[in-house]
Amino acid sequence: MKLINAKIVPGTVQEVVDDYGTIKGSAYGLFSAEESTENLPPIYPFFTVTHGTFSRPTVGELIWVISTTDNPAELFYFKQRELTEDIKNIIEEVGSNQCEIISNYEGKNGWAQIFFADGTGWMVRNDGVQFNMTDEKIVLTTGSKNRTISISSDGISLGTEGTSKEKAVLGDSLSKLLQQLDINIKTLASTASASPYTTHLTTVINKMASDLDSSLQNILSENVSLD
């Protein structure tokens, strides 16, 4: 059995209703922790064919809340620390040691999915775009060549994960360097015009200075910055 018509969201027990495991609780995207328990619907313990027992929940305990699209008013839960193999078997596996436990929506561009990679971090996937976050790095991939962003303790790589071929340039520092070069070229043009032996170079040098002036106006981005 796969919960393909359900979403599973993290929650917290707010009230234990009875001795059969029925509770009321908060759940991300479903109910706020600020909501009065009187206004919250009951949430029932989740059982599978092979998993028919439960330990009594306590107020404040972390849980996973299951909401199905077929019957959104009927809610179930299981404890976050009791994600047994029986429970894992009903959750779609994605790669090694990864399971879907947050949400799975079908949109106009395909499936939008949020996964928790057990012990390693989070994954958000929408069509061909994927976002991975672990305790070591953050990676955004688009599915297109040279369209990846990765952030780690070693730095930020744009284009290819961790191995972009070239170093980024600091725009302000480059602009100052080119401005100084522009001054030097204009000085060279003035010096060349003072001598009959080099005056013929003045036109060429002034053209270089003019081209550089035009480039300097467009070299800095108004939307992207680097440290």
pLDDT of 177 over the 80 cut: yes
The residue-averaged pLDDT of 159-173 equals 87
Does 112 map to a domain?
Answer: yes
pLDDT of 83 over the 90 cut: no
Q: Does 68 share its domain with 113?
A: no
Structural domain range at position 208: 171-216
Alpha-carbon gap, residue 28 to 40, rounded angstroms = 13
Does 225 map to a domain?
Answer: no
pLDDT at 187: 92
Cβ-based neighbour number of residue 86 at 10 Å: 15
The residue-averaged pLDDT of 97-121 equals 55
pLDDT of 3 over the 60 cut: no
In this structure, what CATH number is given to the domain that contains residue 58? 2.40.50.260
Q: Does 75 share its domain with 112?
A: no
Q: What is the pLDDT of residues 6-49, one digit of tens each?
A: 677 778 899 999 888 899 988 877 777 677 888 888 999 886 54
Does 108 map to a domain?
Answer: yes
Overall number of domains in the chain: 3
Residue with more model confidence, 188 or 62: 188
pLDDT at 124: 75
pLDDT of 101 over the 80 cut: no
Cβ-based neighbour number of residue 76 at 10 Å: 17
pLDDT of 96 over the 60 cut: no
pLDDT at 47: 67
Tokens of 134: 């672990």
Q: Does 83 share its domain with 18?
A: yes
Pick from 18, 80, 6: nearest CA to 43: 18
| Weakest mean pLDDT among 9-18, 112-121, 159-168 | 112-121
What is the overall mean pLDDT for the chain?
Answer: 77
**101 CB contacts (<8 Å, ≥6 apart)?**
8, 64, 83, 91, 115, 116
Residue with more model confidence, 185 or 132: 185
What is the value of pTM for the model shown?
0.46
Residue with more model confidence, 132 or 102: 132
Q: What is the pLDDT of residues 178-213, one digit of tens each?
A: 999 999 999 999 999 999 889 999 999 999 988 888
Alpha-carbon gap, residue 136 to 73, rounded angstroms = 39
